[in-house]
Chains A and B, each alone.
Chain A
Amino acid sequence: MITLGHYLVVSGMLFSLGLAGVIARRNIIIVYMCLEMMLSAANLALVGFSRFHLVNGLPDYTAQSLVFFTITVAAAEVAVGLAIIVALFRSKQSVDVESVTKLQG
């Protein structure tokens, strides 16, 4: 039997992996992919909670509606984000995180 706990553990692992990737990777594209993974982890948790939260014997769908919004927002973020990353590549010929360290102190 797969319980809520299983979903949450997977979601948590996914979130942690994403976070670790964001922190550890130097390529901005990959960092961005890790960020998407974190959003997916959140979505998984939402769906899981929603599935096991029964209202009148049926799963509660408000949380699932948020998942759709999240996916949409993620898409928008990717659109804008990739544009910015492309602009960065154009000007620096690099997508390494270390190429943006001018602002500091």
Chain B
Amino acid sequence: MSVFTIEAGLALLGLALLLLEAFKPDISRRTLGLTAIAGTTLALVLFIFAPHDTASLPGFIQPWHQLDSLAIFYKGFALVITILVLWLTLECAPYLTRFTVDGKLAEMFSLPLIVCAGMMWMASARDLVTVFVSLELVTVSFYVLVAFARKSAFSLEAGVKYLILGALSTGVLVYGIAWIYGATGTMSFDGIAKALANPATSKTTALFGAAVLLCGLGFKVAAAPFHMWVPDVYQGAPTPVTAFLSVGSKAAGFVVLTRALDAFMVEGSIIGSEIQALLLVIGSLTALLGSLPAMFQASVKRLLAYSSISHAGYLLLALACRESARFDLSSGGVVAFYLATYLPMTVLGFLGLGLMRANGLGEDIKDFTGLAKRNPLLALLMTISFASLAGLPLTAGFLGKLFVFLGLADHGYWGALSCAVIAAAAGFYYYFKTILAMYTTEGTDVPALTFSVPAKAVAGALALVILILGVYPKPLQKVLTSDRPAVVAK
């Protein structure tokens, strides 16, 4: 079975669940949720055993889709995050239903499948048309998901903000695509790379197009100054959706960005150095604008939103560093590695938030007070998550940051490196602030918190992944470097 078939099947399953809920309203959300999880898990299993090369795709799709190691990695990534989000939704269902119409959750289980399919297609995209279509599939589904708990004023507000700003960015993106096409006369990344390597191509047109396109994509990955939506939307959206946005949507954005930049910054590109400089500027700015405001947040959820901006900054900086002869991971590889480390720690963070929410607690730092006493395991796991987000060594988060720093230093981008260091230092403050609250004991005679066994198991597994990746990253590196063909003809 080809990978494409699996993706299509996933999307169809999503549709089917949607219809099922519409026509058979008495179906329990548990059944729906478990079906979705089972379907995605099946897809994951099938995906693992499916042939992993472009030739295995159906012929009609091959001009638009490809299967390189990056694509495979991101597809797997998308499946894993979808499963986790579905499960988290199920776990948070009791409190989520309070904010939905009629206490229904059906779309919360079906739309993620469609998003997942969209992300998987995005990972394979070979040209801008595919990128646009799959990106919009994801974005439009997210409009619904963000505003889903619409009885909650926050969720609705987040939905409106995401809608307007997202649509604005779509407009910018398409306009950028138009100009790129105008400059290069093609939509495919290979073609664009070839045209940009040709000195005869109009540099100004290409620069204009690339700049606008990057603005559009920058919105998706929360790059400054297009990050304004992130804190509000992340805070307002239901927690599982926030996790999905922060990991899935961001990863999807970055895979597209990687592809686009591989084309823009191909060897001999006429616009390569400008784009690189832009990335450095934006990356530094993003890291700082994510970290600095985060220091004064009272809500952990909003704090994680800012943290996600800051991480986007590091990722952009990683993208700015093109391949180094001394470094096996290409910039795309570093980004993928970073995202792979980012997944467990962020999901674990949101998982903890969701679990606390499900226990009737708020999302503010003060709600974390005394967590260590109320549930030592959860406190430990959250500590691991935050420590990793802060980039403490022996956790996965440190390696990602280390690679970014290594890349920057290797290329001699000292200015960007100092910005990244300042951002990381500020990061220590706000992550540790939360950790400290968890272990503070004064004034906590609140009852112990309890969680289901699967919740413990999943959280524990994520923490374990963080620690294992932190001290034994070799397997992940293998996956990312195994057979990666040159994305672009050089």
Contact = CB atoms under 8 A, between A and B. Distances in A.
Interface stretch (B150-158, B308-316, B339-347): B150-158
Contact of B129 (A50, A66, A85): A66
B232 interface: yes
B250 interface: no
Contacts of A63: 178, 181, 187
B173 to A, nearest CB: 8
A28 B181 contact: no
A39 B297 CA distance: 36
A11 B143 CA distance: 27
B178 A80 contact: no
Q: For this complex, into which size category does the number of interface residues on chain A fall?
A: 35 or more
A68 B185 CA distance: 18
Interface stretch (B163-171, B414-422, B437-445): B163-171
Contact of A103 (B154, B172, B174): B154
B158 A65 contact: no
Interface string A58-94: 0010110110011001001100110011011001000
B110 to A, nearest CB: 15
Nearest to B166: A77
B185 A103 contact: no
Interface in B132-188: 132-133, 136, 140, 143-144, 147, 150, 153-154, 156-161, 163-164, 167-168, 170-172, 174-175, 177-179, 181-182, 185-187
Interface in A44-68: 45-46, 48-50, 53, 55, 60, 62-63, 65-66
Contacts of A65: 129
B235 A46 contact: no
Contacts, number: 136
A55 B164 CA distance: 37
A105 to B, nearest CB: 7
Contact of B174 (A19, A39, A55, A105): A39
Main secondary structure of the interface of A (DSSP, over half): helix
A41 B182 CA distance: 14
A102 B154 contact: yes
B164 A49 contact: no
A91 B164 contact: no
A100 interface: yes
Given A35-B168, A41-B171, 13 more contacts: A15-B175, A32-B167, A42-B175, A53-B185, A62-B187, A66-B174, A66-B187, A73-B140, A77-B136, A77-B140, A80-B143, A80-B144, A101-B157
Interface of B: 127-129, 132-133, 136, 140, 143-144, 147, 150, 153-154, 156-161, 163-164, 167-168, 170-172, 174-175, 177-179, 181-182, 185-187, 231-232, 235-236, 293, 296-297, 302
**4 closest cross-chain pairs (CB), A and B:** A38-B171, A42-B174, A45-B178, A49-B182
27 contacts: A15-B175, A19-B168, A32-B164, A35-B168, A38-B175, A41-B175, A45-B182, A46-B174, A46-B177, A48-B182, A62-B127, A62-B181, A62-B186, A63-B181, A66-B132, A66-B177, A77-B140, A81-B167, A84-B147, A84-B163, A85-B163, A87-B156, A91-B150, A101-B157, A103-B161, A103-B236, A104-B232
